[in-house]
Structure 1
Amino acid sequence: MTLESVPSATLDPIGPSPSGRDIPPSRRSRAATAWTVVGVAIFLLLSAAVLAATAIANLRFDAAVVAHRAAVADAAAAGESAAAVEADAGASAEIAAAALAAPDPLVDAAAKSALATAAGELDTLMAAAPETEFAEPNRPLSRPVWFADLDAASELLNGETRRLTDLAADADAYAADLTVADETVTVSGDAYIEAIAPVAAAVEGANGSARNVERIEFRNSVEQLASSAWGYDAAARIDAYVAAAAALQSTHAAEEAEKAGPLYDRRVAVETYARSIAGGVLLEFDWAPIVIGYGDNGSAGGTATWDTWEGGLSTITLSNSIAEQWGDPVMAALVTHEVGHAITSKCYDLVGEYADDNEPWAVAWAIGMGHTDPNGNGEWLYGRPSDELIERSKGCR
């Protein structure tokens, strides 16, 4: 009997492989590792992308913050500058309005029109003023974390920056225009004040009968205007000039009323003559029926004061009979004698020892002026002065 070999039996794994074939364990391990590596790589790439986007967003946010802070500072500076210019312009507008309130007859018409035009343009510009006070705008209180939030915050800041930049530019342009308009008002204001002097001279000339004190105050007001330029006190100085002009006109009207009547033209002729020889000394006149006991029955009388204040001034009082007999050389001599008293204030050094006892000087002055009739020049009443005094008086004109 022979023994035959029997094939050995093997055990198959439980269940079939997906492909119908068996997969070794080592291959399954390598596949799992590969997928893990791929997943990790994708995760790292995504993380890197997020981190990069966040870093870039942070840089944009930082730049937006810096630009916004600069815009806030620039806007505040522009607003403050414009507000300061506006305050100065507002003061100029107020001064111009007050100056333009002066009555037309007391100022130059062309200069007033030019100032009114400049002031009107300034008022119009100020009425259309842009915003010059900039409240700090809303902005993120803390730095966002997510890059999308960072970009949204950056856009908000950039929008506010653009708004503030535009406001600052408007404020700067407004301030520049306002400065030009204000300077135009100043130039026109200076011309307006300068043009008052010739008008004032005509006003004074038209009020020749005004009293001395009011005339001096009027002249002083004109000098104060001429000696300074347009500025914060220009309106006050113009107001003082207007008030002085009103007083001048008032006393002129009162004096004109006092000498009105049938003798008016003769009184005016007497006063005109006296002023023509007074050497610039201010004269005012009072008329009365009787002066120092003279004035009736063909007689005539006069008195005069003298004062060195403000270059010299005097009040001369004359009897009505002088006006009635005007044209008689005796009357002219008498008036010249009184002017001789008045002009003492101008020639105090020449008058010398006769300043207190002034009659000899007045007689000498009348004689020196060519009035030799003793009945008019005062010689018959006060005696003849020395030839030396007569010659000395000729130096006072």
Structure 2
Amino acid sequence: MHDPDTPETTGGSTPAPGPGPAPWDGLPPVGAPSVPDGPVEFVMVPSEPREPRAPRHMSGFAAAGAIAAVVVAWAIGHQVIATAVHAGMWPAWAAADSAYDEAADDYRETAERAESAIDRGDALVGIAVGDLVAEEDRANLEARIAEARAILDDRPRSPGIAAIGDPAAFAPAWERYADLLSMIDLVPAREDAAARYDAARDVVAEGSLAIADATEALIAGTEARAVAALDQNPSATVASRVAVEEAVAELRHSPTISSGDSSRFADLASAVDELRASHAAEVARLAEFPLRAEIEAFARSIAFDVPFDVAWADEVGGFSSDGYYSGTAEFFEDVDGDGWGLISLTHSIEESWFSDENAKAVVVHEVGHVQVLREACATIFDGPEFAGDHEVWATAWAIGMGYDLPGAGIEAYGRPSDAQIQASTACR
């Protein structure tokens, strides 16, 4: 029999209901949303998010090492860059600094010489006295000294001291960068300073040269006036003339008080005064004793330009005019090294000048002595014929001059050999 509440099946047996889901009968399940009548917009529904992967945790040492590596790489990079840029800039700085140092040293040395020139100029102004010094020359020197002093007071401005690290020595990057910033300003500053010092050096040198020129003008002017005095006083003694020449030569020494010759302008003025006085005295003496003037003129006429003075006395060389004709000759140095002589004669020679040829022979003998001041005669005098014997030489020379008389020295020293007499004539 068929149970009306049981669905009808075809064939076979009906499986017993199991625990699984009931098969779909093509109808929507109870409670499902209604199906839309029209088209449905497609919406992509995201999938549910996956659980995030748990991060891998580094150990503390590994993290520190990584950070340190980054820092070191950064530091090394900065160090390399800073060092390279610093090294590239260094030649420009070194050249500018070296040029400045050289210019500053040149200026300092020039300034020191200028200070010395000023000191010498001041000393010269202080000692340049007397009528031989022209007032305009003194005033010119004083003006040049004042100008040079003002130039030195206007010293160039220094750029100061700069401490820049040597590229050959290690320095941290921040110091290299600091040096670079400094060098950017210091290089042109050093170049400008070098130019300032070079220009200042030239100005200082010009000031020193002006002092030197003014000094030369003063000294040369003084020398010229002294030489003019020599020309204006021809009758002055050789001794007084040599004194003036020596005083003129002293003018060229360094004009410093410490040198011990600070009075040389005064000494020159005094020597010129003595020269003028000597000229006046000689003119008067020769006018008073005309025969002495004649005898002296004769002596000079045979002296081959050897300069000498003549002195007269009653006693010469230990022999008096009573019964003797006596003479002596002395030698002195002069500024040129040529030397000059002093011949002394007894009054008896003057008294017997015209009556006894021996009196003249004595004069010739004494003139022969001073001939050894001539180089041509000195060579013979020092040679084997005379071996430096003054009396044999003077006697031979007098005989060779034609005065073969006792007064020529034969009586006092004996007669030289014919060879000696002949040798003495070789320098006439």
Find the aligned partners of 1:201 and 1:83 in 2 and give their Cα distance. 40
Give 1:123 deviation, angstroms: 1.1
The equivalent position to 1:123 in structure 2, one of 128, 146, 163, is: 146
Q: Which amino acid aligns with 1:121?
A: R
The equivalent position to 2:369 in structure 1, one of 333, 341, 346, is: 341
Which whole-Å deviations, capped at 9, do the CAs of 1:140-160 have from their partners, x for residues lacking one? Answer: xxxxxxxxxxxxxxxxxxxxx
Query: Where does structure 1 lack aligned partners over 5 or more consecutive residues?
Result: 1-72, 137-164, 226-231
Matches within 5 A, 1:173-322: 175-190=201-216, 201-202=227-228, 206=233, 208-209=236-237, 211=239, 215=242, 218-219=245-246, 222=249, 225=252, 233=254, 239=262, 242=265, 245=268, 263=288, 267=292, 270-271=295-296, 273-279=298-304, 281=306, 283-291=308-316, 292-296=318-322, 300-305=325-330, 310-322=337-349
Matches within 5 A, 1:362-381: 362-371=394-403, 374=405, 376-379=407-410
Find the aligned partners of 1:307 and 1:285 in 2 and give their Cα distance. 14
Q: Which amino acid aligns with 2:203?
A: D
Find the aligned partners of 2:251 and 2:140 in 1 and give their Cα distance. 25
Query: Is this contact kept in 1: 2:369–2:390, CA < 8 A?
Result: yes
Q: Aligned-residue CA RMSD in angstroms?
A: 5.7
Give 1:319 deviation, angstroms: 1.4
- SS of the aligned residue for 2:426 comes to coil
Question: Structure 1 residues 169 and 311, CA, compared in 2 at 3 Å: closer, same or farther?
Answer: closer
Query: Is this contact kept in 1: 2:368–2:398, CA < 8 A?
Result: yes
Query: Is this contact kept in 1: 2:131–2:269, CA < 8 A?
Result: no
- SS of the aligned residue for 1:395 comes to helix
Give 1:338 deviation, angstroms: 0.7
Between 176-185 and 381-390, report the one with greater CA deviation: 381-390
Matches within 5 A, 1:52-91: 85-91=110-116
- SS of the aligned residue for 2:315 comes to coil
Question: Structure 1 residues 245 and 365, CA, compared in 2 at 3 Å: closer, same or farther?
Answer: farther
Find the aligned partners of 2:387 and 2:244 in 1 and give their Cα distance. 27
Find the aligned partners of 1:135 and 1:181 in 2 and give their Cα distance. 24
Which whole-Å deviations, capped at 9, do the CAs of 1:149-175 have from their partners, x for residues lacking one? Answer: xxxxxxxxxxxxxxxx99999987665
Which whole-Å deviations, capped at 9, do the CAs of 1:169-226 have from their partners, x for residues lacking one? Answer: 99876654333232233345456656776656555664842549x938954972994x
Which whole-Å deviations, capped at 9, do the CAs of 1:86-121 have from their partners, x for residues lacking one? Answer: 4432322332343454346657x69x83x8525513
How many residues are aligned here? 297
Find the aligned partners of 2:107 and 2:228 in 1 and give their Cα distance. 43
Find the aligned partners of 2:194 and 2:333 in 1 and give their Cα distance. 63
Query: Is this contact kept in 1: 2:400–2:421, CA < 8 A?
Result: yes
Higher helix share: 1
Give 1:367 deviation, angstroms: 3.3
Partner residue, 2:380 = 350
Larger gyration radius, structure 1 or structure 2? 2
Find the aligned partners of 1:255 and 1:93 in 2 and give their Cα distance. 38
Identity %: 28
Question: Structure 1 residues 364 and 244, CA, compared in 2 at 3 Å: closer, same or farther?
Answer: farther
Query: Where does structure 2 lack aligned partners over 5 or more consecutive residues?
Result: 1-96, 161-190
Give 1:340 deviation, angstroms: 1.0
Question: Structure 1 residues 241 and 283, CA, compared in 2 at 3 Å: closer, same or farther?
Answer: farther
Partner residue, 2:19 = none
